[in-house]
Structure 1
Amino acid sequence: MATPDFVLALREKIGHDELWLPGVTAVVLRGVGGSGGAEGPEVLLVRRADSGAWTPVTGIVDPGEEPAVAAEREVLEEADVVAHAESLSWVKVIDPVTYPNGDRSRYLDLVFRCSWVSGEPFPADGENTEAAWFSLDALPELSDDMGARIRSAVDGAEAARFER
C-alpha cells in the first residue's frame, strides 16, 4: 500500500497542506559480523516504482507503532525479507516533499541499522520494481542523501547521529 489509510483520512481533513510524519529508513545488512552467508558485507536496496531510484527500504510509522517495529515491518512488506532492527543510527528532518497530486509532507526520518534474518529479496508490494543485495563496495547510483543514510548505519557508531 503506497499511502497508509491514516494519511488518506488526514488528507480528507487538511487537503494538500503539509503533514509532519514520522518515517523510517531500514538499512539491512548481511555478511557483517556473522549475519548471513554472504561473501562480504551487503546491503538490501529496492528500486522505487515512482522514481526508479535505488534506496534502502523506507516507510511511514503507523500511529502508535514503535519505530523499530515499523522498520522491520516495512522490510518484510516491501522486500519479503525478515530483518531485525539493531540500532538507531541517524535522526534527521527530510526537506519538504511535494507529490504530483499537490500533497505536501515533511518527514522526521529515523535511520535504523538492521541485520538480515532470512529471506531473499523481491519487490513484494508493488512500491518497488526490484529488490536485491549489493556489496557495500559496489553500490548502484544513489542520491547523496541515501548514500549518507547507508554510511550512517554501516559506520556502526554506538549512539545515533543527530542532524543540526
Structure 2
Amino acid sequence: MPASDYVKNLRARVGHDLIMFPTVSAVILNDRGEILLGQRSDNHQWSVIAGMMDPGEQPADALVREVEEETGIQVTIERLAGVALHEVVYGNGDRCHMVNTWFRCRAVSGEARVNDTESIAVGWFAPDALPELNPFALVRIRTSLAPDAPAWFARPGENGVPGY
C-alpha cells in the first residue's frame, strides 16, 4: 500500500532519517484456535496483521480498521497483549521506530482474503504449524495466546523484544 499523505509529507521534510510511528497489530484467533497471518507484499514474509495509526485515531479503532482493510475479517478485541518499540528499515532506506500496540482478537465475521495491496496471501495457521516468522511476530503471538495473561512490555532498562 502506498504511504499515506501524512507519511509522504513527513518524508518530504526528513528524507530517510528516523521517524517514530504509532502502529498496531492483531493476533487473530478463529473458533478452531488458528491464527490469521498475512504474507506481506513488500518482503514476502508472513506476519501478524498490522498497520500504522492515522493521526487522531485510537489504537483499538486503528486495529479494527486495519484488519478489515487487509483481510476482510471483522474482529472483536479480547485484550491488550503488549506494547514494544521495534526498528524497521525499508528497502528504500527509510528508517522508522514503530511503537507497536498489539491485541488478542477473535474473528467474528468475514472470509479471510487478500483485501488490499499490502498482502499477497492470507491464511489461518495452527499455532504448532506456523510458517517462518520473524522474532517480533513470534513474541506478539506468544504473548497473545493465553486468554488472560497480562500485557507484555519491555521492563525499564531492558533493550526491547527478546530475540529481535
TM-score for the superposition, normalised by structure 1: 0.89
3-state SS in 2 of match to 1:20: strand
Give unpaired runs (5+ residues) of structure 1.
32-39
Q: Give the corresponding residue for 1:88.
A: 80
Residue 22 of structure 2 aligns with an amino acid whose one-letter code is: P
User: Which residue in the other structure is 2:88 paired with?
Assistant: 97
Alignment of 1:142 with 2:133, yes or no, is yes
The structural deviation recorded for 1:124 is 0.7
Stretches of structure 2 lacking an aligned partner (at least 5 in a row): 156-164
Whether the 8 Å contact between 1:89 and 1:157 is mirrored in structure 2 is no
Aligned residue for 2:150, secondary structure, equals coil
Counterpart in the other structure of 1:133? 124
Which of 40, 53, 72 is matched with 2:64 structurally? 72
The equivalent residue for 1:24 is 24
In 2, Cα distance between equivalents of 1:84 and 1:24: 14
Inter-partner Cα distance in structure 2 for 1:89 and 1:118: 22
Which residue in 2 is equivalent to 1:108? Answer: 99
Mapped to 2, the partners of 1:129 and 1:121 lie a distance apart of: 12
| Superposition CA RMSD, Å | 1.3
One-letter amino acid of the counterpart of residue 40, structure 2 = R
Aligned length, in residue pairs: 155
Tell which deviates more after alignment, 152-161 or 10-19: 152-161
Task: Output the amino acid matched with 1:156.
Answer: P
- Between the aligned partners of 2:115 and 2:9, the Cα distance in structure 1 is 25
Q: Could you tell me which amino acid in structure 1 is paired with residue 36 of structure 2?
A: L
Q: How many angstroms apart in 1 are the aligned matches of 2:120 and 2:33?
A: 23
Paired letter, 1:131? V
CA distance in 1, matches of 2:94, 2:21: 13
Quote how far apart the aligned CAs of 1:84 are. 1.6
Contact 1:89 1:156 in 2 (8 A): no
